[in-house]
Amino acid sequence: MVMKCPRCVQRVHRAADLCPHCGFEIREADRAFGAQEVRLKCLTDAAGVLRKRERETARKMLEEFQRKFPQLFFAVYFGTFRELPSLRQFGFWLLNRGAFEDVEVSRPNQCGVLLSVDVGGKSAGISFGYNLQPFLTEDTTFRALSAAHPYFLQEQYLKAMEVVVDRLSKTLRRQAKRARRDPELFTPDDIVSEDGKGEMLERIRANHRTKLPKL
Amino acid sequence: MKRWLMWFGVVLLSLGVMAQEEAAPVEEAVKESEEKPEESAEEEKSEEEKEDEILEWPTLPEWSEGDLEKLKTGEIVPGRELLKELTGELTLPPLPETPEEELPPEPDPEEEVVEVDPTVIEEQFLEPYFGRTPASFLIDPQETLARQEYRDRESFLAHHAGDSEVNLYVYLFDAEQQLPEGATIETVFDEHHARSGPTAVVFYFLGRPERSLIALSESIRTVVSQEDRERALRVSIQEAYEKSDPSHQLENFSVELSIRLYWFEKAMAIPGGVEPEEDEALTANETLPPITLPMPESEALKLLTKSLWAVIVVVFTVVITWVGRLIARRRLRHVFPEVEIEPMLGAPHAAGVGAVVSFSSSQLPPSQQRDQVPDYLQRM
């Protein structure tokens, strides 16, 4: 598993508090986007690019993803960021500070995949939680975005979203099979103990209960 | 001068000959001239002088009776010698021979036109057909085939007999001829071919292959089923109908039947052949169609029903399988092993940084619009 810094895109050693190359950490993102956590839904169309019917379709699509993957959730954020410094940093920040209202508590943000689309800046990025780090890579996410690229160009955002969700679903399905056959392939060396897991879940639930202003 | 004299003599000679041909002797002409009215004295005088001059000339050749005959027959042609001298060798065209006219023979008033019944075999041919064992494999006393055609077909049958254990005898009849009463293929077979090993006898009606009859030896019938024998004849008839010319039809027929007999021979070599359903010789009656016999409607319907059921079962199975897999896939849940990674960069939930792709240009591929540049080199 190779981790990269959201700012300098350099490799970062696991469990590093700061990026050894640029000194980036979550507080840097908090300073850019806000220190407080935000409440939002899996599908957030802040840019207003989807019609009502398309939003319904998109929601069903995301529900279907959750049905197939009982531990995971997929979130999509359409926004227009005039002063946004980096879509990669925004995705990193949102997946850490966002509280997704329509996601069950049993699906923490560590198990989330976020597709963030800067409609004004014409760029799209994917971020994912800790639990998916063994199963997703930058390359697999790039392939999913490449498949949806023609639809992004034509501003068919629903179709582009559908393609990204579908491609990532296939990747995750394959990885789940592989993990079932050979779990050791995806077991990191520094697995957190069962006690630690309970603490994290509690923290997530606390975040969900906190009412925060919307972004 | 001599030449002129000769010319003059020849002219006189010709005139003389012409006069002789007209049966008017020269003497008579002279007499006639003497009997003419008196002419002037000067003229008489000049004639006397002329006669005196003539008497001084050499004597003219005298013509005999034989020369006259030769002249009449053309052996002597007046002036031939002179013309030879002028034009060299002169070849006269041969006289045309007048062929004797061949008159058509006068019709014999006693000969009457006998109308031949095309369905009846004449009495004189009954003996060669039915009365004796044939000396060749193709029996055609009526000469329904031309000689060359006969030789070709007969040589093929002889060739077949050399190759195969089963001899094939073909009796040729005209298209509409009917067998005389009491003469059947079975009787012919029993009388002339029953004691000569495996044999096939065919009565073939030239131009009407569908009327063909076949009789086979007991040794063949015990091994080859009636159905197979019937099929052999039917296929041979079909093969005959591939051609329009009766002679070629016979050729096709005999070739195909020869092939079928070869398979019969193979079946005979295998012990325990199929028992024939009937002991009688197989015959193909006139109603046998030249094409394959149509399958009975009920059998066709049964076959169709079976095929339909098979298709339905296969389709149903495929659909059920497909639906089952679809349902199973929909119900399938993909579960990941629970792993928890120690937080990094101070982030509580996620530090997975995926790809970022720009879609600002439709000209560049996604790989060239992939954002891999550090932020501090861009806007931050």
**B235 lies in the same domain as B148:** yes
Decide: B198 and B262 in contact? Cβ < 8 Å: no
A9 to B373: CB separation less than 8 angstroms, yes or no: yes
Q: Does B162 touch chain A (CB under 8 A)?
A: no
Task: State how far the alpha carbon of B340 is from the alpha carbons of A25, A194, B344, in Å.
Answer: 20, 9, 12
In whole angstroms, what is the distance from residue B352 CA to residue B177 CA? 102
- The pLDDT of residue A63: 94
Q: Does A128 touch chain B (CB under 8 A)?
A: yes
A14 to B371: CB separation less than 8 angstroms, yes or no: no
**B48 lies in the same domain as B175:** no
User: Taking 60 as the threshold, does the pLDDT of residue A129 lie above it?
Assistant: yes
Question: Is the confidence metric ipTM above 0.90 for this complex?
Answer: no
- Is residue A23 a part of any domain in this protein? no
- Is residue A39 a part of any domain in this protein? yes
**B279-307 pLDDT, tens digit each:** 444 554 444 444 444 556 778 888 999 99
Share of chain B above pLDDT 70, in %: 66
Q: If pLDDT is split at 50, 70 and 90, which confidence band does B82 have?
A: low
- Is residue B47 a part of any domain in this protein? yes
Tell me how close the Cα of B322 comes to any Cα of chain A, in angstroms.
19
**First and final C-alpha spacing in chain A:** 32
- Is residue A80 a part of any domain in this protein? yes
**A9-48 pLDDT, tens digit each:** 888 887 788 888 888 888 888 888 888 888 999 999 999 9
**B136 lies in the same domain as B66:** no
**Average pLDDT, integer, range A113-124:** 92
Tell me how close the Cα of A55 comes to any Cα of chain B, in angstroms.
22
Instruction: Name the CA dihedral angle for B135, B136, B138, B143, rounded to a multiple of 10 degrees.
Output: -70
B379 to A92: CB separation less than 8 angstroms, yes or no: no
Q: Pick the last residue of a domain from B269, B286, B317.
A: B269
B337 to A138: CB separation less than 8 angstroms, yes or no: no
Q: If pLDDT is split at 50, 70 and 90, which confidence band does A178 have?
A: confident
Decide: B185 and B283 in contact? Cβ < 8 Å: yes
Sheet holding B199-205, edge to edge: B138-139, B167-173, B199-205, B213-216
Tell me how close the Cα of A53 comes to any Cα of chain B, in angstroms.
24
Higher pLDDT, B339 or B207: B207
**B168 lies in the same domain as B227:** yes
User: Taking 50 as the threshold, does the pLDDT of residue A190 lie above it?
Assistant: no
Tell me how close the Cα of B297 comes to any Cα of chain A, in angstroms.
55
Tell which A residues from 24 to 83 touch B, by Cβ distance under 8 Å. Answer: 24-27, 67-72
Closest listed residue to residue A86, CA positions, set B311, B377, B275, B202:
B377
CATH code: domain of residue A106: 3.10.310.50
Q: Does B110 touch chain A (CB under 8 A)?
A: no
Its domain, for residue B80, covers 2-87
Going by their DSSP bridges, the two strands A43-45 and A112-118 should be labelled as unpaired
Dihedral of alpha carbons B96, B100, B102, B103, sign: positive
User: Taking 60 as the threshold, does the pLDDT of residue B106 lie above it?
Assistant: no
In whole angstroms, what is the distance from residue A96 CA to residue B353 CA? 12
**B23-55 pLDDT, tens digit each:** 444 455 445 545 544 455 556 556 666 666 666
Average pLDDT, rounded, for chain B: 76
**Average pLDDT, integer, range A142-148:** 95
- Is residue A197 a part of any domain in this protein? yes
Going by their DSSP bridges, the two strands A73-79 and B167-173 should be labelled as unpaired
Partners of residue B352 in chain A, C-beta under 8 Å: 3, 127-130, 132-133, 136
**B171 lies in the same domain as B249:** yes
B354 to A153: CB separation less than 8 angstroms, yes or no: no
Going by their DSSP bridges, the two strands A123-128 and B352-358 should be labelled as antiparallel
In whole angstroms, what is the distance from residue B341 CA to residue B325 CA? 36
**Average pLDDT, integer, range A178-199:** 60
- Is residue B96 a part of any domain in this protein? no
CATH code: domain of residue B216: 3.10.310.50
- Is residue A41 a part of any domain in this protein? yes
Domains contained in chain B, number: 2
**Average pLDDT, integer, range B250-272:** 84
Q: How many CB pairs under 8 A join A and B?
A: 212
Partners of residue A132 in chain B, C-beta under 8 Å: 336, 352
Instruction: Name the CA dihedral angle for A107, A113, A118, A122, rounded to a multiple of 10 degrees.
Output: -160
- Is residue B343 a part of any domain in this protein? no
**B127 lies in the same domain as B261:** yes
Tell me how far apart the 2 most distant CA atoms of chain B are, in Å: 184
Its domain, for residue A186, covers 32-209
Compute the half-sphere exposure of residue B149: CA atoms within 13 Å on the CB side of its CA: 15
**B59 lies in the same domain as B12:** yes
Interface probe with B: pick from A142, A199, A204, most Cβ of B within 10 Å? A142
**B225 lies in the same domain as B135:** yes
- Is residue B365 a part of any domain in this protein? no
Q: Pick the last residue of a domain from B222, B242, B269.
A: B269
Domains contained in chain A, number: 1
- Is residue A11 a part of any domain in this protein? no
- Is residue A214 a part of any domain in this protein? no
Tell me how close the Cα of B367 comes to any Cα of chain A, in angstroms.
8
Q: Bridge partners of B171?
A: B139, B203
**B40 lies in the same domain as B140:** no
Report residue B172: phi and psi, to 5°.
-95, 130
B349 to A19: CB separation less than 8 angstroms, yes or no: no
Find the radius of gyration of the CA atoms of chain B.
56
Give me the residue label for tokens 């030896």: B217
**B65 lies in the same domain as B135:** no
- The pLDDT of residue A66: 92
Share of chain B above pLDDT 90, in %: 16
**A91-117 pLDDT, tens digit each:** 999 999 999 999 988 898 989 999 999
- Is residue B167 a part of any domain in this protein? yes
**B55 lies in the same domain as B137:** no
Q: Bridge partners of B40?
A: none
Partners of residue A19 in chain B, C-beta under 8 Å: 345
Residue A142 is nearest to which of B351, B355, B379, comparing CB atoms?
A: B355
- Is residue B368 a part of any domain in this protein? no
- Is residue A44 a part of any domain in this protein? yes
Closest listed residue to residue A72, CA positions, set B8, B36, B380, B339:
B339
- The pLDDT of residue A16: 82
Residue A110 DSSP symbol? G
- The pLDDT of residue B30: 45
Decide: A87 and B356 in contact? Cβ < 8 Å: yes
A109 to B352: CB separation less than 8 angstroms, yes or no: no
- The pLDDT of residue B10: 67
Higher pLDDT, B85 or B339: B339
- Is residue B127 a part of any domain in this protein? yes
In whole angstroms, what is the distance from residue B161 CA to residue B257 CA? 12
- Is residue B172 a part of any domain in this protein? yes
**B178-212 pLDDT, tens digit each:** 888 888 898 888 888 888 888 999 999 999 999 99
Q: Does B328 touch chain A (CB under 8 A)?
A: no
Partners of residue A125 in chain B, C-beta under 8 Å: 354-357, 371
Measured CA angle at B159 (ends B157, B161), to 5 deg: 70
Q: Pick the last residue of a domain from B269, B295, B321.
A: B269
Dihedral of alpha carbons A10, B347, A111, A183, sign: positive
Left (φ > 0), alpha (ψ -120 to 50) or beta: where does B357 sit? beta
**B81 lies in the same domain as B127:** no
Decide: B347 and A118 in contact? Cβ < 8 Å: no
